[in-house]
Amino acid sequence: MAQEFPDTADVVVVGGGVMGASTAYHLAHRGVEKVVLLEREPFFGMMSTGQCAGGIRHQFSSEINVRLSLESIRMLERFPEEMGQNIDLRFTGYLFLLTQEEDVAAFRQNIALQHSLGVMTRWLEVDEIARMVPLINLEGVLAGTFYERDGLCDPSSVVQGYVANARRLGACLLTDTEVVGIRTVGGRVTAVETNRGVIETPVVVNACGAWAPQVGRMVGVDIPIQPIRRQIVVTTPIPEVPPDFPFVIFFREALYFHREGEGILTGKSNPNETPGYKLTVDTEWEMVHMDEAMTRMPALEKAGLLSHWAGLYEVTPDAHPILGRIPTVEGFYVMAGFSGHGFMHGPVVGLLMAEEILDGRAHTVNVDLFRYDRFLVGELHPEYNVV
């Protein structure tokens, strides 16, 4: 049944990907009566969430991201029971392959951090890697890391689980509804203007990912996020690929593979990609990508193209998200800029945003390093493990 357009709301969340859907659910779960989620596309989770590779991992270089992964992946494990939605969670493991000495040194430090937080990542020499992934050409590989509780999950199912349960709890979730302006009076949010009408509200959450800067400009806030195109190819079935094939990443080359159905999903980041809202496949780059992919995984030569697409990373200067209240506009919150690893943190970040709004501060995980203020004072500590 279609939901009526509301005149008022306690909180309006803009953006119906995993971040917005998780936030709407967690606010409703905490008892907020008038939660409204707005998505301009015809369906929830169509943009960056629906176009991502679906990976979930603990292997990060910063403590805050490891802690977010620990909480979020636990939430995903409970998802089928708590939300009544299967999400195809598979712990295939992530296998990072290192071809540069500087990365070997950095990943040794990363493993020490991960171990201190209870993430028992393994250090692998080349002979052990060869036994684990005989289909991969390891020429030039110096070492690798593997954690068995990394893996894959279906992004669309996670979004739909949050959408269904937010509605069950009384939230109003609307598609085909574009925000065209945000009203403020005396530095406070007072209303959201949409293509369907105006919603009076004291709180707006900007969960628009790569489009977050556009919403920020509506209240005079400069959000330092750039939209960067990334592309994915999925092949027809490859019988040689075993069911337990891990998520394999050549770290320095930003080239990755994982099993998708009976075939392989592969992507490679273009280091020369320029910012822009480009959602069409760059066929020239796809040829570069697939040439390297077939060199590293020769079995791909026998496969056909099942599908391919382009999506957007939402990249900040330090590859960390912006999360929390914006100090210059009362009632305006941002959760965007996850730089390619947002989907896996969506469950816990929605919980944290609910805490930020209702309790005055996120507390399940301390996210002070992600606050907008860091750009005002220049205190940046970049995440190293970004693909």
CATH number at residue 26: 3.50.50.60
- Residue whose C-alpha is closest to residue 94's, from 285, 335, 341: 341
Cα atoms found within 13 Å of the Cα of residue 62, Cβ hemisphere only: 18
> What are the counts of helices (DSSP H) followed by strands (DSSP E) for the chain?
9, 19
Last residue in a domain, options 270, 291, 315: 315
Q: Are 193 and 236 contained in the same domain? A: no
Sign of CA dihedral 318, 324, 330, 331: positive
- Asked if the model's pLDDT at residue 1 lies above 80, the reply is no
State which H helix or E strand residue 232 sits in: strand 226-235
Residue-range definition of the domain harbouring residue 230:
94-147+226-315
| Site of tokens 């936030």 | 23
Residue 346 tokens, joined: 């969506």
pLDDT (mean) for 110-125: 98
- Asked if the model's pLDDT at residue 316 lies above 80, the reply is yes
Residue 118 tokens, joined: 């209870």
What pLDDT is recorded for position 149?
97
DSSP, collapsed to helix, strand or coil, labels residue 283 as: helix
Cα atoms found within 13 Å of the Cα of residue 348, Cβ hemisphere only: 25
Residue 115 lies in a domain: yes
What pLDDT is recorded for position 387?
84
Residue 81 lies in a domain: no
- Asked if the model's pLDDT at residue 338 lies above 70, the reply is yes
What pLDDT is recorded for position 112?
98
Quote the DSSP letter at residue 129.
H
- Asked if the model's pLDDT at residue 2 lies above 80, the reply is no
pLDDT (mean) for 249-262: 97
Q: How far does Cα 219 stand from its chain's mean position?
A: 25
**Cα 244 from Cα 254, distance rounded (Å):** 22
Q: Are 139 and 245 contained in the same domain? A: yes
Q: Are 142 and 233 contained in the same domain? A: yes
- Going by C-beta distance under 8 Å and a sequence separation of 6 or more, which residues neighbour residue 284? none
What pLDDT is recorded for position 126?
98
Residue 384 lies in a domain: no
State how far the alpha carbon of 316 is from the alpha carbons of 39, 197, 224, 375, in Å: 23, 32, 6, 10
Q: How far does Cα 22 stand from its chain's mean position?
A: 12
Residue 267 lies in a domain: yes
Angle between helices 155-168 and 18-29 (to 10 degrees): 30
- Asked if the model's pLDDT at residue 95 lies above 80, the reply is yes
Q: What is the CATH number of the domain that holds 279?
A: 3.30.9.10
Residue 387 lies in a domain: no
Last residue in a domain, options 315, 347, 366: 315
What pLDDT is recorded for position 34?
98
Predicted model pTM = 0.96
Number of domains within the chain: 2
Rg (CA), the chain: 21
Q: Are 208 and 296 contained in the same domain? A: no
Q: Which amino acid is at 156?
A: S
Q: Are 283 and 191 contained in the same domain? A: no
- Asked if the model's pLDDT at residue 40 lies above 70, the reply is yes
- Asked if the model's pLDDT at residue 27 lies above 90, the reply is yes
Residue 66 lies in a domain: no
Q: Are 293 and 340 contained in the same domain? A: no
Q: Are 308 and 167 contained in the same domain? A: no
Q: Are 160 and 308 contained in the same domain? A: no
Q: Are 207 and 308 contained in the same domain? A: no
What's the pLDDT tens digit per position in 366-385? 999 999 999 988 778 888 78
pLDDT (mean) for 170-187: 98
Contact predicate 282/308, CB 8 Å: no
Residue 120 lies in a domain: yes
Residue 56 lies in a domain: no
Contact predicate 145/68, CB 8 Å: no
First to last CA, the chain: 41
Q: Are 293 and 197 contained in the same domain? A: no
Q: Are 280 and 305 contained in the same domain? A: yes
Provide, rounded to the nearest whole percent, the portion of the chain with pLDDT above 70: 99
- Asked if the model's pLDDT at residue 35 lies above 60, the reply is yes
Last residue in a domain, options 298, 315, 332: 315
Chain-wide mean pLDDT for the chain? 96
Q: Are 106 and 119 contained in the same domain? A: yes
